[in-house]
Homo-oligomer: A and B are copies of this chain.
Amino acid sequence: MNKFYGIGVGVGDSSMLTLKAIDTLKKLDVVILPEAKIGEGSTAYTIASKYLKENVARVFLEFTMAKNEETRKISREKNTTIIEEYLKDGKNVGFLTIGDPMVYSTYSYILQHLNEKYTVETVCGIPTFIDMASMLNIPLTLGNESLKIISLNKNIDIEKEIKNSDNIVFMKVSRNFNELKRALETTNNMNNIVMVSNCGKENQKIYWDIEDIQEEDVEYFTTLILKTRGISEWKKFSL
């Protein structure tokens, strides 16, 4: 029976693909490439392309990033209908996601709208924060410590979050960088962080010190790891 697959391709290059992801890529008749999300779609395709069938159908779908939730919903429903046409036709259809399909991915929204009569299989991938921690040799959690993943925005009480977690991954920090910096200063955590822009890409940048960084200089795909119990002991293998 044909299926709808969500496939996480990891970050950076194809070395982060799992064996299962590769096996799944080889099965696809149709690959869905979400567009207009700051080039994310094309990066996923670049990582995956050499494992796809030569005659795979490439379907570019635009997912609007409009602020209006109803507009976004209509766009997703329209795209889901297109995907269902391929499924009705007996095709194996794959939706590629940078990182993991279950962590902040458009794929999850497609599942919401997809009729349950289709068979779905999700193939996990390495999320950015997992890739980043290993790249830097920085543990995310030890012992009984907690870890919180936050997609930064203007509505978050950052100081409160810092007080309530041992470790925090702040994603998309450019959306409220000045406030984040202020909260790190107030809670005495400026030396407990590492920040990475464009993790795994050619233009990747690593910051151990954000004192002189301004919000307007922070790129869209920037992630900051905060270890409230200190990060200095882990830097020895990263420098």
Interface residues of chain A, those whose CB is within 8 Å of chain B, are: 6, 8, 10, 14-20, 22-23, 100-105, 108-109, 111-112, 114, 116, 119-127, 130-131, 133-135, 137-151, 153, 155, 160, 164-165, 233-234, 236-237
Query: Whole-angstrom distance between the alpha carbons of A18 and B111 in the complex?
Result: 26
Query: Whole-angstrom distance between the alpha carbons of A6 and B134 in the complex?
Result: 9
Query: Whole-angstrom distance between the alpha carbons of A182 and B144 in the complex?
Result: 21
- Asked if B17 contacts A19 (CB within 8 A), the reply is yes
Q: How far is the CB of A178 from chain B (nearest CB, A)?
A: 18
Known: A112-B233, A137-B111, A138-B102. A148 touches B151 (CB 8 A): no
Q: How many copies does the complex hold?
A: 2
Known: A109-B142, A139-B108. A134 touches B130 (CB 8 A): no
Query: Whole-angstrom distance between the alpha carbons of A133 and B122 in the complex?
Result: 9
- Asked if A124 contacts B133 (CB within 8 A), the reply is yes
- Asked if A134 contacts B101 (CB within 8 A), the reply is yes
A-B contact pairs, 23 of them (CB 8 A): A15-B18, A16-B124, A18-B18, A19-B19, A100-B133, A102-B134, A102-B139, A102-B140, A102-B141, A103-B147, A104-B141, A120-B137, A120-B237, A122-B135, A122-B137, A124-B134, A141-B151, A146-B148, A146-B150, A147-B148, A148-B148, A148-B165, A149-B149
By a CB distance below 8 angstroms, the chain B residues around A143 are 104, 151
Known pairs A116-B236, A149-B149 / 19 extra A-B pairs, C-beta < 8 Å: A15-B19, A16-B19, A18-B126, A19-B19, A102-B134, A103-B130, A103-B141, A103-B147, A105-B139, A109-B142, A120-B137, A122-B137, A124-B134, A124-B135, A126-B126, A127-B130, A146-B148, A146-B151, A148-B149
